[in-house]
Amino acid sequence: MFTQSFQSGSHIFQRYINQQKDQYSRFPDRPEKQASIFVVIPCYNEPDILTTLNSLADCNRPEENVSVLIVINDAADAPEEAVDQNISTLESIEKWQFHNPDCFFKIQRIYAHALPQKWAGVGWARKIGMDEAVRQVADGQLADGIIVSLDADSTVSPNFLHSIERAFRENPLSNFYTIHFEHPYDSPEISSAIREGIIRYELHMRYFRNALQWCGYPHAIHTVGSSFTVKASAYVKQGGMNRRKAGEDFYFLQKLVLLGNYGNISATTVFPASRISDRVPFGTGAALKKWVSGGTELYSTYSLEAFNHLIPLFAKASRFWSMEKAEINAIFGNLNQALKSYCENTQAMAQVLELKRNCSSANVFEKRFFHLFNAFWILKYLNFAHETSLSRMELCTESVKLLYNIGIQSDINAPIGEILGIFRDLDRRVQSGTDG
């Protein structure tokens, strides 16, 4: 698919690589053959990386060559035991390669040791691996490449790589895909407390995405670092991965939606680990750590009322393009008070008027409208509303309310796992994205 030489196209990759500076990484392994699918796995103080490798090795082999880039990383101030684990990980991966000589993919270890504390973390590690993938696309003068983002504690369905390859092959204009994920929680090794915590955490994520879609936001996607894949060309067009210590996936994917042409792969599944972790300040592991320590955050979520207030603003956004200023002013003036105040604080109406003057059509206006009123804007509004006038509400109650509003009947007293199952089914139905 991408293995043909494309000299002129490789210039965008080389130009990007020339702008990056990485003086901290060492590369014990170099690719033995050219790949065009790159699975990038950040790895810090991770004892279970071989589980992930075994899961990938059990995958159906795709047509394209695959390289797995594992970025073993730590900060300059990392605890000694974490550095020791990283060294052990380097050795265990080498042994795994030796004992699996017929594996269809080759592993490339990248050792990013003693990174400056200011930026060290999962974002920088993910960036190091993805940038290296781009470097190999450029060196091979490929037309493009596929970069797959995975985590070191995740497993995948056997059709994982094949489904990704097929998605890009069948939709050559696509820039990126999110991938269906499910936290495994039925193992007898998982305690009842962790089981409830992980169900609540995932339900919150799925409630949030579906509430965004329900209120009219067109780019309602999951932003999970272990569950997306992107073309190398789209990666460099949007400036590559950021170096955030956490939340790098959210910020990066929200940049990607601006390109349009994306979708969701629901034919396969990623299984992020259901375990306590302190590797990043938030995310699955951090949320579970707080939960088992007595935290109450997972009991509640943003109220559906707050999303409902966005509907008059988002519904038929293109209509603003043909409106006079007085009509637009009337719509903003009739918004819920919390949303109205937030719009005033962010000068939203002035931005809409400015956008209106600079767009040649209603379609162009609507596209750019949601570049302004994007997921960052919505998240800040939700926090503002719940700090000033609304209260966070019980998670299951709001989830069942949302289901009712989209035409699905569910019992408020149903087991929480059953409610999560309904939302998983909803998210599996999300196939295509937008042409942006």
**pLDDT tens for each residue of 331-355:** 999 999 999 999 999 999 999 999 9
- In the block, residue with structure tokens 């059990």: 58
Length of the chain: 436
Q: Tell if the pTM clears 0.85, that is, is over it.
A: yes
As a whole-number percent, the residues of the chain with pLDDT over 70 amount to 92
CA atoms of 139 and 206, how far apart (whole Å): 40
Average pLDDT value for residue range 102-122: 93
Q: What is the pLDDT of residue 279?
A: 54
Average pLDDT value for residue range 405-421: 93
Classify residue 45 as left (phi > 0), alpha (psi -120 to 50) or beta. left
Reply yes or no on whether the pLDDT at 202 is more than 80: yes
Average pLDDT value for residue range 305-333: 95
Sequence spans of domains, the chain: 10-192+219-281
Average pLDDT value for residue range 85-109: 96
Of the pLDDT bands very low, low, confident and very high (cuts 50, 70, 90), residue 208 is very high
Query: Judging by beta carbons within 10 Å of its beta carbon (0-12, 13-18, 19+), is residue 368 exposed, middle or buried?
Result: middle
Reply yes or no on whether the pLDDT at 432 is more than 60: no
3-state secondary structure of 113: strand
Of the pLDDT bands very low, low, confident and very high (cuts 50, 70, 90), residue 291 is low
Rg (CA), the chain: 23
Q: What is the pLDDT of residue 281?
A: 52
Of the pLDDT bands very low, low, confident and very high (cuts 50, 70, 90), residue 11 is confident
Torsion of CA 313, 314, 318, 322, to 10 degrees: -10
Classify residue 254 as left (phi > 0), alpha (psi -120 to 50) or beta. alpha
Q: What is the pLDDT of residue 9?
A: 56
Q: What is the pLDDT of residue 297?
A: 80
Average pLDDT value for residue range 126-149: 94
pLDDT in tens, 213-257: 999 999 999 999 999 999 999 999 999 998 887 788 889 999 999
CA atoms of 320 and 413, how far apart (whole Å): 42
Do residues 226 and 149 make contact, with C-beta atoms less than 8 angstroms apart? Answer: yes
Q: Does domain 10-192+219-281 have CATH number 3.50.50.60?
A: no
The beta strand positions in 286-428, using DSSP E, are 300-301, 393-394
Mean pLDDT of the residues in the chain: 91
Q: What is the pLDDT of residue 8?
A: 46
The contacts of residue 105 (CB under 8 Å, 6+ apart) are: 35, 39, 56, 57, 65, 66, 67, 68
Do residues 311 and 213 make contact, with C-beta atoms less than 8 angstroms apart? Answer: no
Reply yes or no on whether the pLDDT at 372 is more than 90: yes
Please provide residue 190's backbone torsions phi and psi, each rounded to the nearest 5 degrees.
-90, 130
As a whole-number percent, the residues of the chain with pLDDT over 90 amount to 76
Reply yes or no on whether the pLDDT at 76 is more than 90: yes
CA atoms of 106 and 33, how far apart (whole Å): 9
